[in-house]
Structure 1
Amino acid sequence: MTGEQRDPDSLRLGHSDAWARAHIIPFAVFMGFLLLLQVFANFFGWEHPAAPWWRHWPEQWIYPLQTIVTLVLVAKWWKYYEFRWSWKWSAVGVVFGAVGIGFWLLPTVMYDRLGLTGETTGWMKWLGLAEREKGFNPAEAFGDGTPAYWAALVMRFVRAAVVVALVEEIMWRSFMMRFVSDWEGDYWKRPFGQASWKSYLLVTGLFMVAHSPTDYAGAFIYGSLTYVLCIWSKNLGACVVMHAVANLLMGLFAITYGKYGLW
């Protein structure tokens, strides 16, 4: 049997180094582009009416580049991922994704319903009650409804609902849950979705801090729900579907209600 024909389990057990690279590198490259965005904005960004769009809104070209490069890497190592796609668990993932993102969006909805203005403090701030209107908005750069606007928006949804869903679940659920459970041993041999308090607390905590403090409460609840789905379904594909649905709904909410700071 050739390497290309082997199933993900045999690749995981027989090629641990390549398996680890396949799980870590796409996520690392994805995060590297976020660092690039910060560096470019700090040293070359220019928030001025006369600034060209690529300097005023560098996310409008860095995000699409990030999306394409990361997708290429995921495709390169696709054979190493144990998705085990299932209609049943994918449907469950859809429900979990809708519920999870509902909790994530609730603080922003409550901010408006309570008639709050400006920046919140104390418990409201830590629960995520914020305006969330400043963020990714291609209409600012290209004009509402222009071809460039639609291209940027489509790529943003591909990034959120496809790339982020894949690289984060591959990293957090498929790799990190195994690694934190047995980092001094043969962690790659552990079955997917094996429950432990250590993996729950560490992976959920890391998932939280990978987001902004405003999102900590939502990320904790969402990460906990994903953990439940992971150990219940033993199905990475279900976790990816959950993440994809959640990010799709969040993006639709953001552009519908002008809450661009959510994404």
Structure 2
Amino acid sequence: MNSFISPAALARCLPFVLFMVLLAARGQLAESPMAGLDARWVYGVSVLAVSGAMWWFWKQYEELIRAHWLTLRETVLSVAVGVVVFVLWIHLDHPWLTVGEATASFRPVDADGQLQWGLIAVRWVGAALMVPVMEELFWRSFLMRWIDNPDFQKVSPRTVSFKALALSTLAFATAHTLWLAAIVAGLAYAWLYQRTGKLWAPIVAHAVTNGVLGVWVVLTGNWVFW
């Protein structure tokens, strides 16, 4: 179906758009909090809503079925890439490598500075489990291939053009404040997708990056990375 809003395109775009809308709403609530409403819990709403949307569209994600699971070697490679991206991410944070500020910061501590483990758990689950699937379906499975052909399902990830890789990675970077770190991450995840031909590869790498980052943030208190 040669349409930007084909069922397959909608299934990959709607969860992402929903996540971004709720992210913006959380930022607005954080700046102008309503009485008795903790804007940080809106992230939990995002996790439930976006996960629900992906569950609803799950049959549209043909690249995530059993036939496209990773081999042991591909899994090890994906985990390694995820760890490398994490290391680079926390070091590419110089002021000149940062654009703007996060739409909504997330600091899961109470007024006394004590960790709020419920908020931490929700944030980590969202960042390490939900976000990698949602973002890779949008940025790599959809956008990167769509740039080459609006009928993107006909495009093999192994054959995407340099233009598609570059433009989708630059678009990915605009959604993050650490622009160079995001470019590195986007290129790494796209390379995995091209090399393996399987979307699970960048999903696993992305999940490892975000999962390890979440643990590191809690251990060090560098909440700016969340």
TM-score by length of 1: 0.75
Find the counterpart in structure 2 of residue 7 from structure 1.
none
Partner residue, 1:155:
122
- Equivalent positions of 1:159-174 (< 5 A) are 159-174=126-141
Indicate if the aligned counterparts of 1:193 and 1:232 stay in contact, CA closer than 8 A: yes
What is the alpha-carbon distance in structure 2 between the residues aligned to residue 69 and residue 35 of structure 1?
A: 15
**2:201 maps to which residue?**
238
Aligned residue for 1:208, secondary structure, equals helix
Q: How does 1:163-242 map to 2 (within 5 A)?
A: 163-183=130-150, 186-212=151-177, 215-242=178-205
The whole-number CA distance in structure 1 between the counterparts of 2:109 and 2:183 is 32
Instruction: Output aligned runs, 1:1-263, within 5 Å.
Output: 17-42=6-31, 44-45=32-33, 52=36, 54=37, 57-58=38-39, 60-81=40-61, 82-83=63-64, 84-86=68-70, 87-108=72-93, 124-128=94-98, 135-140=105-110, 144=114, 149-183=116-150, 186-212=151-177, 215-263=178-226
Q: Is the 8 A contact 2:148 2:160 kept in 1?
A: no
- How far residue 142 of structure 1 moved from its aligned partner, in angstroms, is 8.3
Aligned amino acid, residue 6 of structure 2: D
Give unpaired runs (5+ residues) of structure 1: 1-11, 109-123
The residue type paired with residue 56 of structure 2 is K
Distance 2:118 2:44 in 1: 10
Residue by residue, what CA displacement relative to the aligned partner does 1:21-41 show, whole Å, maximum 9, x if unpaired?
111101010111012113333
Can you give the 5+ residue segments of structure 2 that lack an aligned partner in the other structure?
none
Q: Equivalents in 1 of 2:44, 2:184: separation in Å? A: 29
Identical-pair percentage:
29
Q: Aligned-pair distance for 1:137?
A: 2.1
Change (3 A) 1:253 1:107: same
Cα deviation per residue 1:76-110 (whole Å; 9 max; x = unaligned)?
Answer: 111221122213322211111001111111135xx
Partner amino acid, structure 1, of 2:185: Y
- How far, CA to CA, are the matches of 1:246 and 1:202 in structure 2? 22
Does the 8 Å contact 1:107/1:127 carry over to 2?
yes
CA contact (8 A) 2:15 2:53 kept: yes
Take 1:93 and 1:235, find their aligned partners in 2: how far apart are those partners?
11
- Alpha carbons 1:161, 1:244 under 8 Å: kept: yes
Paired residues, what number?
Answer: 216
Instruction: Give the residue type in structure 1 aligned to 2:33.
Output: G
Moved more, 99-108 or 19-28: 99-108
Q: Distance in 2 between matches of 1:106 and 1:41?
A: 27
- Cα gap change, 1:74 to 1:141, in 2 (>3 Å): farther
8 Å contact kept, 2:145–2:160: no
